[in-house]
Structure 1
Amino acid sequence: MSTEVNYLILFDKKIFQFSGVERFSALIGLAEGIKVDNEKSEIIFNSSIFSYSLTSEGDRFKNHETELFDLQIESRKNEQDVENLFQLLREIRIIVSNQKGTITPVFDGVSAYYAEKAYPIIHHIENLMRKLYTKFTLVQLGPKWVDSIPNEVGVSSKVLPNGHNPLYDFDFITISELLFKDYPTKQIDSVVLTNIKKGTISPEDIEAYMPTSNWERYFSEMVDCESKYLENRWKKLYSLRNKIAHNKLFSKSDLSDVKKISEEVKLKLNQALETISSANVETVSLPTPKDTEVLEGELCQDSTPTVEAEDSDNNLGGLVTLALVGAFLGAIARA
């Protein structure tokens, strides 16, 4: 198999001094380390031999003020030749830039080569994240493990056919939200607010109402790693994954980043997986259903009942906002 690259190269005839295929190919051959053999239609660079084709549309469009070259280079599909092709293309881009020309990639097999190398790595790390969440919650909750998926992340149906894992319906970035998205396991209602006012709720009890990620709840003490460390790296992998998914230019440097970041993430996920069987987790809290009566229904009504003046101290009123309550709960939890 081979790796192909196709460039369309455009020059302004008024300033370009190497018009025609022979003169332009000779210009390319002047670069250090590049040898052009027009008879064999080959370019030799760093001991790699590439077949190439160079045609000009200049003769066809004599009245145009530009000259268009169609350059195609083909490499054997092995790591050394592809790396040499990558460097050769960089030299060609420098030559074109020095002549004030422009390059439009029509087909970039080098990007495809590196993307093909990167995809299995990303695929593996994505499924490793699924494995960690599924295995942990299934061990802790049994058949109810699906109910542990936060409402903020969402699942279309929790009545699933046998053998189906809903996590495979989630895309790459949503998988990370299972571990890193902050959410409360209990919703604030009027009873909680009353207990806060009375001072009868402890910081330990407040924790269930504080948005926290599953990683911080269950894994941070078992694995020496903060959730932000993994979350930030997962976002970088997501960006690199999108380059592959949307056929963006993908370089050797991108492949190196995928390898490096994936190894960092895999190390922490594997450490977490090793702790599952021995994890001393008393309970896994399930998210409160969305239709549970929450603070908004209590405090954000358009109209509030009339309250006698002497009872106003005991009424929490419609003036309390979610932001203030959140800040207050945070202060209590940190105390």
Structure 2
Amino acid sequence: MNTLKVEYLIVIKNNNFCSSPETFRNFLNANDLVSIDGQLIKFNKIAVEYKLQTGEIKEHRFFHLIFVYNPKNGIDENIDDYIKLLKIIRTTVHYLNIEFSVLWDDISLYYSTKAYPLIHEIENLMRKLITKFMLTNVGIAWADETSPPEIKFTNRGGKSGKSIKSKANLLYEKDFIDLADFLFEPYQNHDTIGIYKLLKSAQNINDLNLDELKQFIPKSNWHRYFFGINYEDSQLQKKWKDLYQLRCQVAHNNQVTKEDYEAILTLVNELRDKLIEAVEQLDKIEISEEEKETIAENVAINMNALFGEFIKTWSMFESELIKTFNKSQLNEEEKNEKRIYPPRITMQELMKIQLIDHDFFKLATEINDFRNRSVHNAHLIDSLYSESDIRHKILQLQQLIDQLRAIEQ
């Protein structure tokens, strides 16, 4: 791009004011800051090619203004003067009873073109961080070779049928604004029912352990595992959202000003430093098996909102299962232990004492398998299961919960 062309279309209600190209040119030339000399309009250190076309449509006269800036030493040379000149033109004609439209804007195109590689870089740096974190630190079964080698599902463009051979490409199917949820969205490691149990069992304030209570505070993955980086997750999330708004301007061909580009540059530079620092810390992060399961579950929730409702219902089922098991213990010592086992073992124990039957166990086990497959293959949820499949599992869980509550009564 060697020149910057900007075109305006101005429509004026037909009257004696600015009724010809000459009177319109004189109107612009009346501004002391600019001067028109033939086909050039001059301002400060620049001279811009200027063309004016005019005509009449019914009772209106239109003026088509074309400005072409052709700097000798690169686009950035005195571009600020060109921007100021155009602002003066717009401000001047604003005083007329007009309709004003931008037909072409190479300045916006220029800054959009400069901004796009920056946005592309930071978006893919974020994907790199999250993908490596999930595959090497969490180690969930995204790369499980037992999964189908090619899956058809909906991509970012909303078109179905795209083949994804690598499960690691999951994050390349997430929209820009949703990427941040993997790192910055707070979630709980423990069911909130647990905090009610702690409070209910406490006789006085001294029976409560502050560190134990703090475990119920929702925290983001950034807060949990990247705490060594001196930057709050809320700050990063805000900057990511700010960048998203600017990204939309670029992606949707909206006007992008020099100020917009400079804001993008500032945000990208700041985010880049923190994301690179986070990537470098991945080798130092240690995650327990329980935490890995929670992270995997949270990823699945982010991938599918309805599946998030299923996970919430599953958590309620687990809580009711544990409650039923603890109440079934034969002596006070066992009851006070409040032991927690995996759902399958808990149900086997309940079957032994005939609180649940084989049909209950079989259905709950099938739903448990459904939950595990989905959590550990979050990228496949939309492909493997329809909305009605997930809703049916939620309904089945609710029926199992009702059965457990009936036992407790």
Same fold per superposition (TM over 0.5)? yes
Gaps of 5+ in 2: 145-152, 156-162, 301-309, 321-334, 336-409
Secondary structure of the corresponding residue to residue 244 of structure 2: helix
1:263-288 Cα distance to aligned partner (Å, 9 max, x none) = 22222222222322234555653334
Structure 2 match to 1:304: none
1:39-60 Cα distance to aligned partner (Å, 9 max, x none) = xx333333333323211113xx
**CA distance, structure 2, for counterparts of residue 146 and residue 7 of structure 1:** 54
Q: Which range is displaced more, 42-51 or 120-129?
A: 42-51
Is residue 134–residue 145 contact of structure 1 (8 Å, CA) maintained in 2? Answer: no
Is residue 4–residue 107 contact of structure 1 (8 Å, CA) maintained in 2? Answer: yes
Q: Paired residue for 1:179, among 157, 171, 183? A: 183
2:288 aligned with 1:294: no
2:47 aligned with 1:49: yes
Is residue 137–residue 285 contact of structure 2 (8 Å, CA) maintained in 1? Answer: no
What code does the residue aligned with 1:170 have?
K
Structure 1 match to 2:109: 112
Structure 1 match to 2:331: none
- What is the Cα deviation at residue 206 of structure 1? 5.8
Q: Paired residue for 1:124, among 116, 121, 126? A: 121
Which structure shows the higher helix fraction? 2
2:6 aligned with 1:12: no
Structure 2 match to 1:71: 65
Is residue 188–residue 295 contact of structure 1 (8 Å, CA) maintained in 2? Answer: no
TM-score by length of 1: 0.72
Secondary structure of the corresponding residue to residue 77 of structure 2: helix
Structure 2 match to 1:36: 36
Structure 1 match to 2:96: 99
What code does the residue aligned with 1:20 have?
S
1:103-130 Cα distance to aligned partner (Å, 9 max, x none) = 2112222111111111111111111211
Is residue 34–residue 45 contact of structure 1 (8 Å, CA) maintained in 2? Answer: yes
**CA distance, structure 1, for counterparts of residue 164 and residue 187 of structure 2:** 24
Structure 2 vs 1, CA of residues 181 and 87 (structure 1 numbering), >3 Å: closer, same or farther? same
Gaps of 5+ in 1: 148-154, 300-313, 315-335
**CA distance, structure 2, for counterparts of residue 54 and residue 296 of structure 1:** 74
What code does the residue aligned with 1:277 have?
D
**CA distance, structure 1, for counterparts of residue 169 and residue 228 of structure 2:** 26
TM-score by length of 2: 0.60
Structure 2 vs 1, CA of residues 23 and 72 (structure 1 numbering), >3 Å: closer, same or farther? same
Is residue 138–residue 292 contact of structure 2 (8 Å, CA) maintained in 1? Answer: no
**CA distance, structure 2, for counterparts of residue 298 and residue 222 of structure 1:** 34
- What is the Cα deviation at residue 196 of structure 1? 5.8
**CA distance, structure 1, for counterparts of residue 9 and residue 240 of structure 2:** 36
**CA distance, structure 2, for counterparts of residue 128 and residue 19 of structure 1:** 56
Mapping for residues 321-332 of structure 1, pairs under 5 Å: none
Structure 2 match to 1:276: 282
Structure 2 match to 1:135: 132
Structure 1 match to 2:169: 165
Is residue 7–residue 67 contact of structure 2 (8 Å, CA) maintained in 1? Answer: yes
Is residue 112–residue 250 contact of structure 1 (8 Å, CA) maintained in 2? Answer: yes
Is residue 111–residue 251 contact of structure 1 (8 Å, CA) maintained in 2? Answer: yes
- What is the Cα deviation at residue 135 of structure 1? 2.3
Number of aligned positions between the proteins = 283
- What is the Cα deviation at residue 143 of structure 1? 5.8
**CA distance, structure 1, for counterparts of residue 29 and residue 195 of structure 2:** 78
Secondary structure of the corresponding residue to residue 242 of structure 1: helix
Structure 2 vs 1, CA of residues 228 and 143 (structure 1 numbering), >3 Å: closer, same or farther? closer
Structure 2 match to 1:85: 82
2:230 aligned with 1:229: no
- What is the Cα deviation at residue 242 of structure 1? 0.8
Q: Which range is displaced more, 289-298 or 243-252?
A: 289-298
Structure 1 match to 2:245: 239
Is residue 185–residue 286 contact of structure 1 (8 Å, CA) maintained in 2? Answer: no
What code does the residue aligned with 1:246 have?
H
